[in-house]
Amino acid sequence: MINKKELWIISIIFLSYSLTFLIINFLTKKWEYFYYNLMMLALFFIILFFYKKLNINFYQLLGLVIIGLLHLLGGNIVLNGTVLYKLIIFGISYDKFIHFFSNLILAFVVFGIIVSFIKKTRMYRSKILLSVFFITIGISSFVEIIEFIASVLFDNTIIGSYKNNVGDLVINAVGTLVALFFINKKIKR
């Protein structure tokens, strides 16, 4: 469980970069990332409201805050005329790296949340792993819906094609499966 001091640290970090990018996106009229930032702010305040019930630890919440920062950097930083999300680094697109890393962290967060339910019921390891997999994939699919809404609402989004969307879903699954490998080891202990 996260304590109040850790919660303050995380909140200051998140709100500092979130509000900074909110102002930048407003001034530069980057409405797509203004919208994403508002979605992240709403999610952050939901987590703050329910953090005691969610059983999220400091590192899981920090992971979510890092994901948010990497996402906003990806859409706002331009290197050599190319937005960071479109860059290929060591043969992997920044976009796919973010999807992989996000689902890796998200699977650990989902596992942390359902641990309290596991203690109350006798769930077998396979049911735990399947639950974490499908909940994580469901949440990341919802994020893809948020991206789709952005592509409908705003002109010139950097979201990409249907192929990009399906590729994101595949990478989300791979990130989740990698997390499940480590979660499975933790459950065995």
Please write down the HEC assignment for all residues of 153-189. Answer: HCCCCCCCCHHHHHHHHHHHHHHHHHHHHHHHHHHHC
Query: 7 Cβ partners below 8 Å, 6+ apart?
Result: 48, 51, 61
The residue segments making up the domain with residue 184 are 4-188
pLDDT tens per residue across all 189 residues of the chain: 778 898 899 999 999 999 999 999 999 999 989 999 999 999 999 888 887 778 788 888 899 999 999 999 999 999 888 888 888 888 888 999 999 999 999 999 888 888 766 766 666 777 888 888 998 899 888 888 888 888 777 777 766 666 777 888 888 898 899 999 988 888 776
What is the 8-class DSSP label of residue 20?
Answer: H
Domain count within the chain: 1
Q: For the chain, what percentages of helix, strand and coil (3-state, to nearest 5) are there?
A: 80, 5, 15
What is the 8-class DSSP label of residue 84?
Answer: G
pLDDT (0 to 100) of residue 147: 81
pLDDT (0 to 100) of residue 184: 85
Quote the pTM value: 0.79
Other C-beta atoms closer than 10 Å to the C-beta of 85 total 21
Residue type, 140: S
Instruction: Give dist(CA 132, CA 126) in Å, integer.
Output: 10
